[in-house]
A = this chain, B = another copy of it.
């Protein structure tokens, strides 16, 4: 469920005028920007961008980029885009930075088949390349095999499950972990092509047999490397995306120096989807409400904007 608080009546023209006024003159009225944008859903934001263009022949996104700065600017920029366009931007930023490949895994594994396809389309429209092309060109070896397989998937989404297959593929995964061959072609094949429902049955089969989850089993085995890290993230994003996001937030908040990019990413991408559930999970796991934790680690307009997305009433 969404945390977004949207008023009953919205005038896109008035919103556009408010935003224009906020940007004019000396200094920017960030509060006005937040009061509008943090309380409009994706369809409404699109219409505001359109209304702004019709009124002023200027791109709202560009104007805001030039008016705002720092974490606040990045958060507003990501938020104001259409969801698939935002994910395309996130993927493009991540593909150039190997420490951020988990963002690509997130996008590929959390989104539905149609949502991922929409991101691939948006990516092409924006960058004149395919997402898989850029991922493949920036990576090598096992990491490439895994990432390209994940971003090109168009998984079957029916509920049909083959229990026998789940059993046999759980065995393949067990053998791979036992032999420390996480990078075996079969592991990548299973992870990148099976439907999520089928994979969950496979992971359950693994747990029934081994008494421990596949992610824990992977963690227990010897040295960590980038491929193994991404493999575990892929499994978590497929198996329990909300728990995964809770952990991303927990780590980002706990981290010495705070990982603002991660906080922004989770809040902005999930606010209209399931951030309410993520908040509940966060409270359950940390005994601190998520908005309190975020408030403690952030400041100024950036903080005000995140809290508004988290459901704070003005």
Contact = CB atoms under 8 A, between A and B. Distances in A.
A77 interface: no
B195 A130 contact: yes
In the A-B complex, list the 6 residue pairs whose CB atoms are closest, starting with the nearest.
Answer: A152-B152, A133-B193, A136-B189, A130-B156, A136-B193, A128-B160
Chain A residues touching B, majority SS = helix
A156 B133 contact: yes
A156 B194 CA distance: 25
Interface of A: 117, 120-121, 124, 128-130, 132-133, 136-137, 140-141, 144-145, 148-149, 152-158, 160, 185, 189, 192-195
Q: Copies of this chain, how many?
A: 2
A130 B194 CA distance: 8
A137 B189 contact: yes
Nearest to A127: B156
Given A128-B158, A148-B193, A149-B152, 6 more contacts: A117-B117, A129-B195, A132-B153, A132-B192, A133-B194, A141-B185
Contacts of A152: 132, 149, 152-154
A128 B141 CA distance: 31
Contacts of A185: 140-141, 144
11 contacts: A121-B154, A124-B157, A124-B158, A128-B158, A132-B154, A132-B193, A136-B192, A144-B185, A144-B189, A145-B145, A149-B152
A124 B145 CA distance: 23
B120 A154 contact: yes
A149 B129 CA distance: 16
Contacts of A145: 145
Contacts of A160: 128
